[in-house]
Amino acid sequence: MGRPLFYDIIEKPATSCIITICSLIWFVIQKKSVGYSQVGLSYETASEGHYWRMITSAFSHISVLHLVFNMSALWSLGVVEQLGHVGLGTAYYLHYTLVLVVFSGVLVIGIYHLLIARFKIDYFRRVTAVGYSCVVFGWMTILSVKQPSSKLDLFGLLSLPISFAPFESLIFTSIIVPQASFLGHLSGILVGYAISWGLIGGMNNYWALTMLGWIIVVFVFSLKKSGAYDFSFLQIESLTDASLPSVRFIGNGRTLQASAVPFSGVEVV
């Protein structure tokens, strides 16, 4: 008899929570008949200020096959949480999951910008990415550097050496699923290497909470400003200088407003 699933869930709490969140979001998407264009990230929507899509696109899946493939790979990669003795562990997993979600999204939009502006390939202006694949490929890459002897198990049937898994999976998904985002997966791999080689490092609880706070602020304000969701307690209006917005929180008769202050230049050392 195999090991009860309960013990694996206890040892992979962050992975289990993320899989649950992605599954619940998929259920809501199916229930509400939400299309990928409503939650996905594209160069066009990002340039219009829909920065909130960087988060919704990562945690949303439209097809059940896409969800099952990503979550199966993520469950296997959750072994990172069980490797606290080699400098990984649950805290490391949570810290760098935040980094992978944000940085891979920014990188893929940057690549789209280069292809559109420099090479005049307008096709990438409206390409819409959706799914947790960027983060999955990022963790494949990190684990391939940190623990090259590990295996990646898919669906409990297919086992790949983790040292080759990122590029094997990149090629495999590109052939089997033509609509899969090659650049999105590649962005996850590049950010994964940047993390594992120490180019992106120094994450701790303080910086993770700070980053999470900014993500929430940008998420809420971009939702409001883009008109995707109307937060009745929040108003954004311009002052004399249109580049300096004022912010109002309205409720119980109290108003908080940021005023315009002349900027003469500051050097920070």
Active site residues: 133, 185
Q: How far is CA 40 from the centre of its chain?
A: 11
53, 45 in Cβ contact below 8 A? yes
76, 148 in Cβ contact below 8 A? no
57, 187 in Cβ contact below 8 A? no
> Residue 21 corresponds to which tokens in the numbers above?
């969140």
Q: Tell me the one-letter amino acid at 92.
A: Y
Residue 153 host element (H or E): strand 151-154
132, 60 in Cβ contact below 8 A? no
95, 208 in Cβ contact below 8 A? yes
Q: Is the dihedral of CA 240, 243, 249, 254 positive or negative?
A: negative
The DSSP string of 50-84 is -TTHHHHHHH--SSHHHHHHHHHHHHHHGGGGG-G
58, 105 in Cβ contact below 8 A? yes
Give backbone dihedrals phi and psi of 158, rounded to 5 degrees, phi first. -105, 130
